């Protein structure tokens, strides 16, 4: 029986509510030593902010992280998966949508998060999916280095 996302996902996902500043988000990310935060509105997931978002949308553009609200730089709409999807389906979704982190939602509520590298650790099939995407030049540059030998 194939593994499901619920078998490997991280369940304690760190979130931040809309209205907070980028500075507050960075402080949480540094304290928790994580690379992304899920943005919530009324407790429901609505977006994601990654280290790369902060570099591209704040640092490079010299925006003030103390004044910029997190929702101004979040990626939205949020691409999500379900806890019952197979690791193969999750890997395909990550590759096709060119993302590295997949929030897992059930009945509108955030229940976990899974990354491409979580999947690769568990599912050799995911490596085949990634190699095929690499051969078809559909794999983002930042992911290619992990598959080239």
Q: Is residue 149 part of a domain?
A: no
The pLDDT tens digits for 67-78 are 999 999 999 999
- The pLDDT tens digits of the residues spanning 10-61 come to 999 999 999 999 999 999 999 999 999 999 999 899 999 999 999 999 999 9
pLDDT single digits (tens) 95-126: 889 899 999 999 989 999 999 888 877 766 66
- Structural domain includes residue 110: yes
Kindly report the CATH number assigned to the domain that includes residue 91: 3.10.580.10
Range of the domain at 27: 5-144
Query: Is 41 contained in some domain?
Result: yes
Is position 131 within any domain? Answer: yes
Task: Look at residue 127 and tell me whether its pLDDT is greater than 80.
Answer: no
Count of domains forming the chain: 1
User: What is the sign of the dihedral through the CA atoms of 45, 93, 84 and 8?
Assistant: negative
Is 102 part of a structural domain of the chain?
A: yes
Does the structure show a pLDDT above 90 at 135? Answer: no
15 vs 45: CA distance, rounded Å? 8
Q: Is residue 94 part of a domain?
A: yes
Residue 31, in any domain of the structure:
yes
- Distance, in Å, from the CA atom of 128 to the CA atom of 145, rounded to the nearest integer, reads 15
């Amino acid at each position: 029986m194939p593994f499901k996302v619920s078998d490997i996902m991280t369940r304690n996902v760190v979130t931040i509510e809309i209205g907070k500043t980028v500075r507050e988000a960075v402080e949480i990310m540094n304290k928790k030593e994580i690379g992304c935060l899920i943005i919530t509105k009324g407790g429901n997931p609505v977006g994601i902010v990654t280290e790369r978002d902060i570099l591209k949308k704040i640092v490079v553009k010299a925006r003030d992280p103390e004044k910029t609200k997190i929702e101004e730089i979040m990626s939205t709409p949020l691409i999500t998966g379900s806890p019952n999807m197979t690791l193969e389906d999750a890997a395909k979704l990550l590759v096709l949508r060119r993302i590295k982190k997949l929030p897992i939602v059930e009945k509108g509520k955030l229940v976990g998060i899974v990354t491409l590298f979580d999947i690769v650790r568990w599912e050799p099939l995911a490596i085949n999916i990634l190699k095929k995407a690499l051969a078809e030049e559909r794999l983002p540059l930042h992911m290619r280095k992990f598959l080239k030998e």
